[in-house]
Chain A
Amino acid sequence: MALRDLAILGKANVKKDAYNKITGKALFAADLKFDHMLYGGVFRSTVPHATIKRFDASKALALPGVACVLTSKDIPGGNRIGIIMKDEPVLVDDKIRRVGDAIAIVAAETPELVEEALELMEVEYDLLEPILSYEDAMKEGAIKVHGDSNLHARKHLESGDVDAAFAQCDVIIEGTYTTNMLSHMFIEPDAGVARIEDGILTVYASTQNAHFDRGEVARTMGLPNNKVRVMQVTTGGGFGGKLDISVQCHLALLTNATGRPVKMVRSRKESTDVSAKRHPMVMKAKTGATKDGKVLAVEVFMTGDTGAYASYGPAVITRAVVHAMGPYDVPNVRIDADFVYTNNPMCGAFRGFGVPQVSVCHEGQMNALAKALNMDPIDLRIINAQRPGTVLATGQVLDEAVGFIDTLLEAKKKAAEVLDPCKENQGIGVGCMWYGVGNTGLPNPAGAFVEVLADASVNLMVGCADIGQGSSTVMAAIAAEELGLSYDDIHVVAADTMVTPEGGASSASRQTFISGNATRNACKQAKDTLAETASNFLNVPKEDLIFRDRMIYSAKDPAIKMTYPELMAEMKKWGKLAVGAGAYNPKTTYLDAKTMAGIPYEIYSYGTTIAQVSVDTSTGEVDVQKLISAHDVGQAVDREMVEGQIEGGMVMAQGFAVFEKIEFEKGKIKNPIFSKYLIPTAMDSPEIYPIIVECPGEAGPFGAKGVGEPALIPGIPAITNAVENALCQRFFELPLMPTEVMKKIRS
């Protein structure tokens, strides 16, 4: 692919939110204050499965300063929410399905009074038998968490003739891999404020999807969508954990009941207890290859626990199945998956939607295969790598934008430069991934509005929520590139449902691609009017005009030109407005219900990590020393921000591989706080070498793909494989806790 001649993209711009954040002026939800504001809190179940025999809030209501206590009977609209399936009550009605289910909500004059009121509420339960594992859920005659089956989803993907292929293989690798429940641990706990503004129920929320929130609030309140406004405020990280409804519906109910603004700020414990977690999964895999290293067949059966509610579970299982064979061209594939409902904590979206879990499995298999065949792990992956033209198990044929082999080669080159020869108990491991950008086999459009103003400054309105990853910066750069203006000319308004069009979720690494294309399309529409005016003025055909660096000129004779302010004056003279509305929906198809054949994603990102670790054989502690991670991002919109995603992803991968785990017992999380759930600190952070590979296609805006989740995924198996190689042992369960590592060392 020839180098593209871009004016803005591929450089580093000052993030749109940087100044407010570095001066402390950025307002997060907990920082908002309104006159006569009340505070809200939630009375939650302490048992995993029960019906409510008696609930009594009379003592709480008698407390001076308590404005109201609401239960499910006080909901004016519907009482079921959920991203994909509406199976979660806003307030418990029929039964409790998990520890932390919301039974009642309270509003009071101060946060202290809220706490006091919650302590005065009384509940008696009729306990039901809790379903606490996959096995419990699938037992014949088991009590049902929802409806008439505990099987939440079952998926099957098959291509080729798997059994015949295994019969031809020279080597077969088998393994059963387990990954545990993880918590996002975004640093800002969920929070929001609601109030009535000019008759509109307005919710300010820490969220990854304001437009989804609007629909849920409107349905809960029985209001039309345009009587609800959700505004995303500065959001302190999400990683998938702020996609579900947190405080939004409760706030709407309380503000509606009291007529006053209400604020809710979750404690760290409450935030961890009830926000969605990463699905724990068990993956039983069989991989067959020829003696030359060509993988002929892969078979995987995986089970997952989605907990009490579906959340993004249906997306996680589908994505996990589609990605289970890894970024390889495998002609014979059979993948089966069962996800169940239980009374455990709810699992949903967490950076990668099941792909981090399956990467542990397919890369564990590849590491073992390389050893069995005595092959270089990079060479083995190159032999099997997806390439342009590869036919996937879903039947989709890949286009030219497949940069996987480049990531392998670039990472290998860097490893030769920066990794040290391994000493005793040191190891090097390779991990790879692919990631379909956007939602799986579903329409998932985004929109954008743009207006070029009289002075050639621009307002760009996008639904896409910037949660710190920098999407507003990305959209501004794309708009500036398309319009031929400078990055600083573009002001971005994001994720305000009364101002911006639908953007869909800031998830699935989709916003650079989808909102980016919507932004570009909106700009193209505005540019069309601008070009018409410039064409008349300069007497140059529209198609010969170039917009760049705040100038408009003829491609054939750059001396024929005008400035942007001159063009805007000309627009004014003729009564023309430079406005545009754009949308983009990725070119996917629904997947066949039986075979999962179809086009799950329009584009794919690829990545390779090489890790170097050292293991302390007296304690079992794993020291992650160096991580090289090469990512095919199509086209980097902002190189510094791409690096930031890779570095952040790599350290999150370290946590995943080495020490993070939600411990729970009888449905109750035992370590919901930072002193008990450890995430990597500055002392843990390894040396990271981010490598940007650009293999642009025609689909993304100027060729850009997504990187948010790809940045995490390959680091996890790379670290695991490095530990395996250091100790010449196989590991089948993450995290690699020192106790488990010691067991292996002693064996």
Chain B
Amino acid sequence: MDKIKISFILNDKPVTVETNPNKRVVDLLREDCECTSVKEGCSEGECGACTVLVNGTPVTSCLMLAGQIEGDSILTLEGLMKDGELDKLQTSFVEAGAVQCGYCTPGMVLSAKALLMKNPHPTHEEIRRALSGNLCRCTGYTKIFKAVDMAAGN
């Protein structure tokens, strides 16, 4: 298959990558862009470990093809720190004890980030709904909810 060039914004920086158009975004980010925070857990869009933000919306990157992100703005966990400072959500996840094995963490934090960007003070129900596409087998979600509440200043 002929390779194509695709250009997009990755963590606030413009990038151009030559790739197979049918390469999955999760592979593109992990293999060609060194964003290994994007995890693969199921390859069917169910677990949410590969969640990235595309123009601010959480998507499971295992179900997206490279050609689909031309011109888009992609945020991964690598792009969440600003000027060496942790994002409020990163701090609150650590403080709340919301990180155990850490495999769901990148996707979970990004889903929470998308929520807070749209809705700075979500209700408990809104938090649950926003995180319902990200599976966690360790924490029981309680401390994750607490972390999002802390970051939102609720």
Question: Which residues of A are at the interface with B, using a C-beta cutoff of 8 A?
Answer: 12, 14-15, 17-28, 30-31, 184-189, 234-237, 239, 267-268, 467-470, 640-641, 643-644, 646-652, 673-675, 679-683, 685, 688
Count of inter-chain pairs, beta carbons less than 8 A: 166
Which of B30, B106, B129, B138 contacts A237 (CB under 8 A)? Answer: B138
B114 within 8 A of A: no
Q: Could you write out 26 A-B pairs with CB less than 8 Å apart?
A: A12-B97, A14-B95, A22-B93, A23-B81, A23-B86, A23-B90, A24-B35, A24-B37, A186-B101, A188-B101, A236-B102, A237-B100, A268-B41, A268-B44, A468-B101, A641-B97, A648-B100, A648-B140, A650-B140, A651-B141, A652-B137, A674-B46, A681-B133, A681-B135, A682-B127, A685-B128
Interface residues of B in 13-57 (CB under 8 A from A): 30, 35-37, 39-44, 46-47, 49
Interface size class of B (residues with CB under 8 A): 35 or more
**Distance between A469 CB and nearest chain B CB, rounded to angstroms:** 7
The answer on a CB contact under 8 Å between A679 and B100 is no
The answer on a CB contact under 8 Å between A649 and B137 is no
**Among all A-B residue pairs, the 5 with the closest Cβ atoms:** A24-B37, A468-B101, A236-B103, A21-B102, A651-B140
A235, B138: Cα distance in complex, Å? 12
Which of B42, B93, B101, B140 contacts A268 (CB under 8 A)? Answer: B42
The answer on a CB contact under 8 Å between B44 and A674 is yes
Which of A30, A644, A650, A675 contacts B97 (CB under 8 A)? Answer: A644
The answer on a CB contact under 8 Å between B140 and A685 is yes
B77 within 8 A of A: yes
Q: Which residues of B contact A267 (CB under 8 A)?
A: 43
Interface residues of B in 126-154 (CB under 8 A from A): 127-129, 131-145
**Distance between B139 CB and nearest chain A CB, rounded to angstroms:** 5
Specify the chain B residue showing the minimal Cβ separation from A711.
Answer: B140
Q: Which residues of A contact B144 (CB under 8 A)?
A: 682
Q: Which residues of A contact B42 (CB under 8 A)?
A: 268, 673-675
B59 within 8 A of A: no
The answer on a CB contact under 8 Å between B46 and A643 is no
Q: Which residues of A contact B39 (CB under 8 A)?
A: 28, 30, 187-188, 236
**Distance between A594 CB and nearest chain B CB, rounded to angstroms:** 40
B61 within 8 A of A: no
Do A187 and B99 form a contact, CB below 8 Å, given A31-B36, A239-B137, A674-B44? no
Do A468 and B131 form a contact, CB below 8 Å, given A24-B77, A31-B36, A647-B140? no
Considering residues A234, A237, A643, A652, which has the most beta carbons from chain B within 10 angstroms of its beta carbon? A237
Do A643 and B137 form a contact, CB below 8 Å, given A23-B81, A187-B103, A468-B102? no
Do A470 and B36 form a contact, CB below 8 Å, given A22-B105, A648-B139? no
Q: Which residues of B contact A17 (CB under 8 A)?
A: 99, 102
Encoded as 1 (CB less than 8 Å from any A CB) or 0, chain B from 72 to 91 comes to 00001110110000100010
B104 within 8 A of A: yes
A683, B144: Cα distance in complex, Å? 13
**Distance between A536 CB and nearest chain B CB, rounded to angstroms:** 42
**Distance between B20 CB and nearest chain A CB, rounded to angstroms:** 10
A12, B46: Cα distance in complex, Å? 33
A643, B144: Cα distance in complex, Å? 13
**Distance between A445 CB and nearest chain B CB, rounded to angstroms:** 26
The answer on a CB contact under 8 Å between B97 and A237 is no
Which of B35, B36, B44, B134 contacts A673 (CB under 8 A)? Answer: B44
The answer on a CB contact under 8 Å between A682 and B137 is no
| Sample of 5 more A-B contacts, CB < 8 Å, known A646-B140, A682-B131, A685-B141 | A236-B102, A647-B143, A652-B140, A674-B44, A685-B145
Do A24 and B103 form a contact, CB below 8 Å, given A14-B94, A648-B139, A649-B140? no
**Distance between A188 CB and nearest chain B CB, rounded to angstroms:** 4
The answer on a CB contact under 8 Å between A237 and B134 is no
The answer on a CB contact under 8 Å between A682 and B76 is no
Do A24 and B76 form a contact, CB below 8 Å, given A652-B137, A674-B135? yes
B10 within 8 A of A: no
Chain A residues touching B, majority SS: loop
**Distance between B47 CB and nearest chain A CB, rounded to angstroms:** 5
Q: Which residues of B contact A679 (CB under 8 A)?
A: 135, 137
A379, B127: Cα distance in complex, Å? 39
Q: Which residues of B contact A673 (CB under 8 A)?
A: 42, 44, 46
Considering residues B76, B127, B131, which has the most beta carbons from chain A within 10 angstroms of its beta carbon? B131
Do A22 and B86 form a contact, CB below 8 Å, given A468-B101, A682-B131? yes
Q: Which residues of B contact A236 (CB under 8 A)?
A: 39, 41, 101-103
**Distance between A369 CB and nearest chain B CB, rounded to angstroms:** 30
Q: Which residues of B contact A23 (CB under 8 A)?
A: 37, 77-78, 80-81, 86, 90
Specify the chain A residue showing the minimal Cβ separation from B136.
Answer: A187
B109 within 8 A of A: yes
Encoded as 1 (CB less than 8 Å from any A CB) or 0, chain B from 89 to 127 comes to 010011101011111111001000000000000000001
Do A682 and B139 form a contact, CB below 8 Å, given A237-B101, A673-B46? no
Q: Which residues of B contact A234 (CB under 8 A)?
A: 102
Q: Which residues of A contact B132 (CB under 8 A)?
A: 681-683
Q: Which residues of B contact A650 (CB under 8 A)?
A: 140
Q: Which residues of B contact A28 (CB under 8 A)?
A: 39, 103
Specify the chain A residue showing the minimal Cβ separation from B96.
Answer: A640
Q: Which residues of A contact B138 (CB under 8 A)?
A: 237, 468-469, 644, 648
Specify the chain A residue showing the minimal Cβ separation from B129.
Answer: A683
Specify the chain B residue showing the minimal Cβ separation from A30.
Answer: B40
The answer on a CB contact under 8 Å between B106 and A18 is no
A649, B39: Cα distance in complex, Å? 23
The answer on a CB contact under 8 Å between A682 and B128 is yes
The answer on a CB contact under 8 Å between B99 and A22 is yes
Do A683 and B128 form a contact, CB below 8 Å, given A644-B97, A644-B100? yes
Specify the chain A residue showing the minimal Cβ separation from B128.
Answer: A682
The answer on a CB contact under 8 Å between B109 and A22 is yes
Considering residues A17, A652, A682, which has the most beta carbons from chain B within 10 angstroms of its beta carbon? A682
A727, B77: Cα distance in complex, Å? 47
Q: Which residues of A contact B78 (CB under 8 A)?
A: 23-24
Q: Which residues of A contact B95 (CB under 8 A)?
A: 14
A21, B80: Cα distance in complex, Å? 13
Considering residues A469, A640, A648, which has the most beta carbons from chain B within 10 angstroms of its beta carbon? A648
A26, B144: Cα distance in complex, Å? 19
Do A24 and B134 form a contact, CB below 8 Å, given A18-B99, A187-B101, A188-B103? no
The answer on a CB contact under 8 Å between B142 and A685 is yes
The answer on a CB contact under 8 Å between B41 and A187 is yes
**Distance between A653 CB and nearest chain B CB, rounded to angstroms:** 9
The answer on a CB contact under 8 Å between B49 and A187 is yes
Which of B106, B137, B142 contacts A185 (CB under 8 A)? Answer: B137
A467, B95: Cα distance in complex, Å? 19
**Distance between A6 CB and nearest chain B CB, rounded to angstroms:** 19
Specify the chain B residue showing the minimal Cβ separation from A272.
Answer: B42
A189, B49: Cα distance in complex, Å? 11
Q: Which residues of B contact A649 (CB under 8 A)?
A: 140
A527, B78: Cα distance in complex, Å? 42
Specify the chain B residue showing the minimal Cβ separation from A25.
Answer: B37
The answer on a CB contact under 8 Å between B102 and A26 is yes
